[in-house]
Amino acid sequence: MDAKTRLCCLIGNPVGHSLSPMIHNTLAEELGINLCYTAFKVEKDRLHEAVAGADAFNILGMNVTVPHKCEIIKELSDIDPLAARIGAVNTLVRVDGGYKGYNTDAIGLYRELEEENIIIKDKEVIILGAGGASNAITYICADEGAAKIYLLNRTFDKAKKLADDVNSHFGDIVVPLAISDYRLIPEGKYPVIQTTSCGLYPNNDDAPIYDKEFYELVEAGVDIIFNPAKTMFMKLCKESGARAYNGLKMLLYQGIAAFELWNDIKVPKNLADKILGMMERKLKES
């Protein structure tokens, strides 16, 4: 670290257990880039000051986590079209006049799906949950050419609101349903993406749905949760004979996508795999 070191950071609350500093500092070290990454706890009412301070300090880029992913948009000088449609930003890149916002959560999910050979294009997809994380995931599935998306949520109204929003951009491809109405989905095998907090540590035995009949619909399941590494949703998928994956690769690849935007480089696959192994070991130790 010297006077020429560029600074990047994560802002949000909480940030104390984030894996992002490990991801980005390892990338910088391995690729020989003079960059340092840290995390700052930023309260809701201090977001404007935080971005203004980052601009004043010439910070190269920022990741944004809860609770700021939507509110950050008003602080931007530019925004990527996909992030604008999603209505949430998790990556800021320094440009003339301030910061441009991107949503690399969507990119991270797409890269994980691609790597696990889970096809979205021209397929019918099931998404569980209509909260903040579901926005980006529903949009990326629509953007990648899903034939139809069944959006299941505990409360129908919230699913309908997100479905109406996505359908206004892509046509009537999102079908909102209450989770209890999953039997309205035609028989078949579907990629299923679990976006709720059900099963997040320490509530390891929770799942958004327990009915074995539902899991007969699953061809491959992706849970965006990565702690625990094997969620109840994943266990139920596997018991029905489906493949199942956690969200650790999504976390990794959204971080890599941000790093690539900041530094205008491409991260090699072998380095991504190395960092994934480090993340897995770190979680086992925690």
240 assigned ligand-binding residue: no
- Judge whether 153 is annotated as a binding position: yes
Task: Report the Cα–Cα distance between both ends of the chain, in Å, rounded.
Answer: 28
Residue 154 annotated as binding site: yes
Give the residue among 131, 152, 127, 129 at the shortest CA–CA distance from 140.
Answer: 127
The answer to whether the annotation marks 131 as part of a ligand binding site is: yes
Q: Contact 98/71 with Cβ under 8 angstroms?
A: no
225 is in an annotated binding site: no
How far apart, in whole angstroms, are the C-alpha atoms of residue 270 and residue 126?
Answer: 31
Q: Is 188 annotated as a binding residue?
A: no
Q: Is 25 annotated as a binding residue?
A: no
Is the backbone peptide bond immediately before 208 cis, with ω within 30 degrees of 0? no
**Has 254 been labeled as part of a binding site?**
yes
Which listed residue (69, 100, 148, 249) is catalytic? 69
The identity of residue 180, as a single letter, is: S
**Residue 105 annotated as binding site:** yes
Cis preceding-peptide flag for 67 (omega within 30 of 0): yes
Is 90 one of the annotated binding-site residues?
Answer: yes
Q: Is residue 164 part of an annotated ligand binding site?
A: no
Calpha distance 189→125 (Å, rounded): 9
d(CA 63, CA 56): 17
Residues 6 or more apart whose Cβ sits within 8 Å of residue 35: 5, 6, 7, 8, 24, 28, 60, 262, 263
d(CA 233, CA 84): 31
* 230 is a catalytic site residue: no
* 207 assigned to a ligand binding site: no
Is 255 flagged in the annotation as binding?
no
247 known ligand binder? yes
Q: What is the rounded distance in angstroms from the CA atom of residue 197 to the CA atom of residue 112?
A: 19
Q: Which residues are annotated as a binding site for NADP(+)?
A: 129-133, 153-158, 224, 247
Q: Which residues are annotated as a binding site?
A: 18-20, 65, 90, 105, 129-133, 153-158, 224, 247, 254
Catalytic (active-site) positions:
69
Q: Which residues are annotated as a binding site for shikimate?
A: 18-20, 65, 90, 105, 254
